């Protein structure tokens, strides 16, 4: 009897900011690999989570939310999102059930119609627990009239409803071939970038709504110590002196709280004791520095 052939490929998640792409990525992978907050535009680069379903490997590309770009960083993020869609074997458009066919979703559908990706486009209506069944069915019909989706799924990424069915269907859609990553690998990201993303998430959750989009975090030093622990030094780049004060907080309390939360999550993620040191630095023009874009996985030329 022949062994079941392995399958491996890419599934790109696209949609408006806050549609639940990062939450679904983490649910499919079964571990946290993508930054999740209640604030929009938190995913900046294309985060690749690696999920196994039987003999199939699904590399989930969690793209930045698609929106109307204004700044260089915005333009680079949107380019990364469409780039992720163009490289995929399956594209999944996520739409929030309670928001429906918004202007932003219409703009994405227009783009899909103008330049259809090579891959089939599926629809995943997310957060179905927020609306009644009748409204859900009406939204599904409206969206399918707007675009010829190959598949439609009703899910709640946060609660897990419908996620196993979506995962099984994605696995079956992956092309036959060897696995792209080791079976126990959950993300295609340097661990230094994951560490920086964890700290940025804690900052995003803690700080004023506007400031998180004007800061970035980079892991500058990583030292494995003889006692099995790791020493990590990270720089938080902000654009103004006033922003530095906000990040530090009164008597450094905000930075300490962020550092504590990030350290605890890093220790759990790495399975070792972590010594984390955060340095807040003012870089007025970091949004125009190609090195900052490279550090967060974006192409400066796309901005």
Question: How much is the pLDDT for 92?
Answer: 94
CA atoms within 13 A on the CB side of 74: 10
For residues 165 and 201, state if they share a domain: no
Q: Which of 76, 259, 255, 276 is nearest to 192 (CA)?
A: 276
Place of tokens 């949609």: 15
For residues 30 and 152, state if they share a domain: yes
What angle is formed at CA 280 by the lines to CA 282 and CA 214, rounded to 5 degrees?
60
Neighbours of 141 (CB within 10 A): 11
pLDDT of the chain, 303 residues: tens digit per residue:
347 789 999 898 888 878 888 889 889 988 777 655 444 444 445 567 889 999 999 988 876 554 454 555 555 555 555 555 667 899 999 999 999 999 889 988 988 888 777 889 999 999 999 999 999 999 999 999 999 999 999 999 999 999 999 999 999 999 999 998 888 877 766 778 888 888 988 888 888 655 655 788 888 999 999 999 999 999 999 888 888 988 998 899 999 999 999 999 889 888 889 999 999 998 887 766 666 556 555 554 554
For residues 169 and 201, state if they share a domain: no
Question: How much is the pLDDT for 291?
Answer: 66
Place of tokens 């080791």: 182
Contact 89, 11 (CB under 8 A): yes
Question: How much is the pLDDT for 123?
Answer: 97
For residues 79 and 153, state if they share a domain: yes
* Position 2 in a domain: no
* Position 184 in a domain: no
* Model pTM above 0.85: no
CATH at 199: 3.30.300.20
Report the domain count for the chain: 2
Element of type H or E holding 79: helix 72-86
Question: How much is the pLDDT for 137?
Answer: 95
What one-character DSSP code corresponds to residue 176? Answer: B
* Position 1 in a domain: no
For residues 143 and 11, state if they share a domain: yes
For residues 52 and 141, state if they share a domain: yes
Contact 103, 133 (CB under 8 A): no
Q: Which residues of 262-288 are buried (b: 16+ CB within 10 A; e: fewer)?
A: bbebbbebeeeebebebebeebeebbe
The end-to-end CA distance of the chain, in Å, is 53
Question: How much is the pLDDT for 104?
Answer: 85
User: Distance (Å, rounded) from C-alpha 282 to C-alpha 240?
Assistant: 6
For residues 162 and 208, state if they share a domain: no
For residues 283 and 156, state if they share a domain: no
Nearest 10 degrees: Cα torsion 88, 36, 109, 67: -110
Q: Which of 87, 105, 106, 83 is nearest to 96 (CA)?
A: 105
Q: Which of 53, 73, 61, 68 is nearest to 6 (CA)?
A: 53
Neighbours of 294 (CB within 10 A): 12
DSSP H helices in 162-287: 163-173, 191-206, 241-248, 253-270
Question: How much is the pLDDT for 26?
Answer: 87
Domain that holds residue 199: 191-302
Bridge partners of 62?
13, 47
Question: How much is the pLDDT for 37?
Answer: 46
* Position 217 in a domain: yes
* Position 146 in a domain: yes
For residues 77 and 220, state if they share a domain: no
CATH at 109: 3.40.50.300
């Amino acid at each position: 009897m022949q062994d079941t052939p392995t399958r491996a490929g890419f599934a790109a998640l696209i949609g408006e900011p806050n549609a639940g792409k990062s939450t679904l990525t983490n649910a499919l992978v079964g571990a946290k690999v993508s930054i999740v907050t209640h604030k929009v535009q938190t995913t900046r680069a294309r985060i690749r989570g690696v999920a196994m379903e039987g003999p199939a490997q699904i590399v989930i590309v969690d793209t930045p939310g698609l929106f109307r770009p204004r700044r260089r960083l915005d333009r680079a993020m949107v380019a990364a999102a469409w780039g992720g869609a163009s490289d995929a074997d399956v594209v999944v458009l996520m739409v929030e059930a309670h928001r429906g066919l918004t202007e932003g979703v219409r703009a994405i559908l227009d783009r899909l119609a103008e330049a259809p990706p090579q891959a089939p486009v599926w629809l995943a209506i997310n957060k179905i627990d927020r609306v009644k069944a009748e409204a859900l069915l009406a939204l599904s019909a409206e969206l399918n009239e707007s675009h010829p989706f190959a598949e439609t799924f009703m899910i709640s990424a946060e609660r897990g409803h419908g996620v196993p069915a979506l995962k099984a269907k994605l696995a079956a859609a992956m092309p036959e071939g060897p696995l792209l990553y080791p079976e126990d690998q959950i993300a295609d990201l340097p661990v230094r970038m994951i560490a920086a993303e964890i700290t940025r998430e804690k900052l995003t959750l803690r700080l004023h709504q506007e400031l998180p989009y004007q800061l970035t975090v980079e892991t500058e030093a990583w030292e494995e110590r003889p006692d099995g622990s790791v020493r990590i030094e990270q720089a938080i780049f902000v654009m103004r002196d006033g922003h530095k004060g906000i990040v530090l907080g009164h008597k450094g309390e905000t930075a300490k709280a962020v550092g504590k939360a990030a350290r605890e999550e890093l220790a759990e993620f790495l399975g070792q004791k972590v010594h984390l040191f955060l340095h807040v630095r003012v870089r007025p023009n970091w949004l125009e520095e190609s090195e900052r874009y490279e550090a967060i996985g974006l192409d400066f030329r796309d901005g």
